[in-house]
Chain A
Amino acid sequence: MNDTLLSVSIALVFGIATFMILRRDLIRVAIGITLLSHATNMLIVSTGAFLGGRTPIITGDKAVSTGGTFIDDLATGILAPVIPDGIEIAYVDPLVQALTLTAIVISLATTAFLLILCYRLYQEQGTTDVSEIRRLKG
């Protein structure tokens, strides 16, 4: 995927998420939070995606030609995913995908909780307008 296109789309999702969070409706805020975590997930995945990267399933003979991704040697430079010159990268970084999975699971739980909270707030206060839900002040 094109790097510029990827960056712009991540930035767009972040922007839409921020816009939604600043809306006055509870549900829109919840959708904004969801979009925010989606944007972050895209950001995390993109940190490990290199141009021409292959899936990081390394078996048998291919394991020999992993290039710089998995070597961790300070003397030759800082590695994975910051790639020193002259080393060709064959695989995308698998760790960020594992991180994204964790983040997705967490955001699933939080979104479910947030939606239930919106519903309960609507039941208790009879409105989903944030500007009318302001009993706590003083």
Chain B
Amino acid sequence: MDIMQHVPIIMIILPVFFAAFTVLFRSKSGLQKALNVGVFALLFILSLRLLSYVWDNGILVYEVGEWGKYGILLVADLLGAGMVVLSSLISLMAMIYATDYMDRKALDTTFFPLFNLMAAGLNGIFLTGDIFNMFVFFEILVLSSCGLIVLTGRGDHTKMADKLEAIFKYLVLNMVSITLMLVAIASLYATVGTLNMADIAVKVSYLAEAGTLPWHFHVIAMILIVVFGYKASMFPLHFWLADVHPSAPAPIHAMLSGMVIKVGVYGILRVHYLIFNETMFMLQPILILLSLITIAVGATSAIGQYDLKRMLAYSSVSQIGYVLLGVGMGTAYALTAAIVYLVNHAVAKSMLFLATGETLYHAGTKDIRKMGGFAKSSPFLGSIFLIGAMSIAGLPPTGGFFSKLVLFDAGLSSEYYIPVAIALVFAIFTLFYLFRTWLAIFWGEIKDTDNADGYTERKPTVAIKVALALLACVVIYMGVYPEHLLSLSGTIADQLLDPQPYITAVLERSVR
């Protein structure tokens, strides 16, 4: 059991180490692939073990450098460990998929180191207990994903000039948002004199009880909502996503839209529900309003799109609105719904993006109007795409049905009738644009266009089939046995609303 104490740091150190180590094998392509898939499988197993350990034994705190509570802490509570399991699952599948999908040149040189760094950044964000450390991991995540977006894969019809433009936007906007986060962190530190999130929470509640909570505390909470809202592509800050994410190759697109935008939601769940409890009464109506506009803008933009990847990117904007709606409603049941929605959307959307990458490779074009009749030549891709579309739209045998059901039920039970009505209308929009797309691509006749590339009948390779089939199994599993995820999310939501165990675990423990 002793090794379990060190799993939080292993989840971060191992990918960082491998980012450097894998460069040594750049001339041995096969060995490099096997090694990296092995490492990501190991990370996934470790994350599962971590989640079960945290479920059995309570919150796990790891002191980096053994400096007590003044040093940097890694805290694995159920939310953090659960998010690590989710990100490890999706990055494992994206990695398996990418070994066959990415260009040989990209794969041999830069893909593996950067992908390892991206996984390290994600795990670090989810496991850190220190708000400045969260900023550092945000930077690691941003810089590594910038490098990954420019790489090319085989179904990638984006020109290099477009990719560079996309990452310029991504990098500049991210730098501004991250600088804002740093300003917020500096102000928070100047207010309470600590960077440890649990310690901040204690001191803030102390200040609030004494009635001396300074007014700029509310401003800090708002700045952090802007930062995390930007990461999650909330309404006024959503415009970059449809340019940046579709420029990435399919596995990276799956990681970005599946996992990286969830980082913003995680930030709101962690930081705002732990530290900014006092300001949530003010922020919740704002979150609900903005999330509804996000849903509406994303869904209507997706309807007007003929570019498949762009359409799905706008769909991500719309879906993240539902997650933020649950976060904004803020009751225990609504938070449960938000977490269930987050998990289901992450798995289904990343599967949809991986399937899209392969479909585009076969189609030779990104335009939906030029596709048609692919069901005959590739029934496998068609069924995978259908399962993903059903889950995103919320149809019964898949996990998406339960996420929407629980979310609307939570909204009704806390009497948010109008938000639920609006969300329901745009859920029908989701159903419409996803099935219109599926019918256009896979049904009907093969279109006789003057497009010279046309549809070429190439079977998906084994690695791609394995990754897609495993993700489809997870999606179906979460639809057939939703109670596991529901009970886990329920416990996480209770812990979020009552952060006392988290604070106790971090602050009141025997210092080694």
Contact = CB atoms under 8 A, between A and B. Distances in A.
Interface in B149-199: 160-162, 164-169, 171-172, 175-176, 179, 182-183, 186-187, 189-195
B171 A113 contact: yes
Interface string A15-49: 00000010000100100010011001001100100
A82 B143 contact: no
Nearest to B192: A78
B365 to A, nearest CB: 14
Contacts of B305: 138
Interface string A62-103: 000000000010100011111000000000000110010011
A78 B203 contact: yes
Given A40-B183, A102-B136, A109 B143 contact: yes
B307 interface: yes
Interface string A109-124: 1100110011011001
Contact of B168 (A26, A44, A78): A26
Counting chain A residues whose Cβ lies within 8 A of the other chain, the interface size class is: 35 or more
B417 interface: no
Contacts of B217: none
B259 to A, nearest CB: 22
B161 A81 contact: no
Nearest to B240: A136
A74 to B, nearest CB: 6
Contacts of A102: 132, 136
A102 B203 CA distance: 25
Nearest to B206: A74
B136 to A, nearest CB: 7
B193 A79 contact: yes
**Considering residues B143, B161, B166, B194, which has the most beta carbons from chain A within 10 angstroms of its beta carbon?**
B161
Contacts of B132: 99, 102
A21 B172 contact: yes
Contact of A117 (B168, B192, B202): B168
Nearest to B306: A138
A82 B247 CA distance: 47
A79 B164 CA distance: 47
A43 B183 contact: yes
Contact of B179 (A40, A113, A133, A138): A40
B161 A110 contact: no
Given A33-B176, A120-B164, A136-B247, A110 B171 contact: yes
A106 interface: yes
Contacts of A43: 183, 186
A99 B181 CA distance: 13
A117 B165 CA distance: 9
Contacts of B162: 135-136
A125 interface: yes
B76 interface: no
Contact of B193 (A33, A81, A106, A117): A81
Given A37-B179, A113-B146, A136-B162, A47 B190 contact: yes
Interface in B280-335: 305, 307, 310
Contacts of B194: 72
A103 B183 CA distance: 11
Given A26-B168, A136-B162, A78 B186 contact: no
Contact of B139 (A81, A110, A135): A110
B190 A81 contact: yes
Contacts of A117: 164, 167-168, 171
A44 B162 CA distance: 36
Given A110-B143, A136-B247, A47 B189 contact: yes
A36 B167 CA distance: 19
Interface in B67-110: none
Given A47-B186, A113-B146, A125 B165 contact: yes
Contacts of A103: 182
B117 to A, nearest CB: 12
B207 interface: yes
Nearest to A82: B193
Contacts of A118: 168
Contact of B165 (A37, A109, A121): A121
A82 B193 CA distance: 7
Interface of A: 21, 26, 29, 33, 36-37, 40, 43-44, 47, 72, 74, 78-82, 95-96, 99, 102-103, 106, 109-110, 113-114, 117-118, 120-121, 124-125, 133-138
Interface of B: 132, 136, 139, 143, 146, 160-162, 164-169, 171-172, 175-176, 179, 182-183, 186-187, 189-195, 202-203, 206-207, 243, 247, 305, 307, 310
Given A21-B176, A99-B132, 4 more contacts: A37-B179, A43-B186, A82-B191, A124-B161
15 contacts: A21-B172, A43-B186, A44-B189, A47-B190, A78-B192, A78-B193, A78-B207, A81-B193, A82-B192, A114-B168, A117-B164, A118-B168, A135-B161, A136-B162, A136-B247
